[in-house]
Amino acid sequence: MSVRPARRLAASVFAVGVLVTASGCLAGQPEKAARRAAPAASAAGQLSPSAGPALTAAQARSALITEADLGVPWGPTQGAATWRDTLLKAATTAPQCQQLLDALYADELLGQSAGAYAVTALDDGDDQAQLRYQVAGDRRADVDRALAWLRTLPQTCAQFSAATTGAGPQTVQVYEARLPQVGDDRQGLRVTLTGQTVDDEGEAVTLTVDVAVVRVGDDAIVLTEGSLGTPPSDAVAQALELGSRRLAQVREQGRAQA
């Protein structure tokens, strides 16, 4: 499999944290990802809207980012990335780690949304990357529980083994990643899957998925960006900074018109 070289990034806001611990896991059967139950305390933010009417579907769509926001080479998606079924459809016997794999594959890091919901997907052909950006109107407690669960994963699922039907066994690593200071609370992860397949240069093929969840008031932004190689992580910071402002503005406009 040929992988285009990734961009050389300068100091990026979205930086990978340090791998803390490692634990080995054997292959098993996937279980459906569910809403998370861990408690969390939210951090104060500057852009969040105050309590008000629930987010509407039209507002959620208005708060999405577009290819024009990210610029070239991003464009409308040409369909689900080939690595989604090949690599993210994976199994391990560690429940917390399986929950993460299931959530990434189903694109449901918050579980099924309890409120209005909108999603868009963009492709970067230069880096063979795909970005999915979601806006969800949700209950604050549910989003905070999801954030708390994500914070545990760099320790509980720092390194484990997973089995795939399309690409054989994979070594999965989960790192904490730093996000721009947007919204009221946020959590970033970088998840890598490395198997035995090599590219034309003899290097092991690695799928890298950057994950970001940001709570803005009672609503949430969920972003995933995946690439065979190193994703263009400048897009993560750019999308979150612009998107959180747009969501707050949409909510303010809604209250002004109510």
pLDDT at 74 over 90: yes
Mean pLDDT over the full length of the chain: 81
Percent of the chain with pLDDT over 90: 61
Per-residue confidence (pLDDT) for residue 6, from 0 to 100: 39
pLDDT, mean of residues 202-221: 92
Per-residue confidence (pLDDT) for residue 11, from 0 to 100: 34
pLDDT, mean of residues 2-18: 39
Per-residue confidence (pLDDT) for residue 241, from 0 to 100: 97
Between residues 89 and 256, which one has the greater pLDDT? 89
Confidence class for position 114, pLDDT limits 50, 70, 90: confident
DSSP 86: I
How many Cβ atoms from other residues are within 10 Å of residue 222's Cβ? 23
Per-residue confidence (pLDDT) for residue 128, from 0 to 100: 83
Per residue in 156-208, pLDDT (tens digit) is: 999 999 999 889 999 999 999 999 999 999 999 999 999 987 766 777 889 99
Per-residue confidence (pLDDT) for residue 71, from 0 to 100: 92
Domain segments of the chain as ranges: 15-23+55-244
Q: Tell me the pTM.
A: 0.79
Between residues 95 and 232, which one has the greater pLDDT? 95
Tokens describing residue 137: 């109107």
What sign results for the dihedral spanned by CA atoms 224, 227, 230, 233? negative
pLDDT, mean of residues 127-139: 90
Q: Which of 186, 149, 148 is nearest to 48 (CA)?
A: 186
Phi and psi at residue 54, to the nearest 5° = -65, 150
Per-residue confidence (pLDDT) for residue 51, from 0 to 100: 55
Return the CATH number of the domain spanning residue range 15-23+55-244.
3.40.1000
Cα 246 off chain centre by:
19
pLDDT at 23 over 80: no
Per-residue confidence (pLDDT) for residue 205, from 0 to 100: 86
Q: Which of 63-67, 125-129, 235-239 has the lowest mean pLDDT?
A: 125-129
The answer to whether residues 142 and 42 touch, using CB atoms and an 8 Å cutoff, is no
pLDDT at 134 over 90: yes
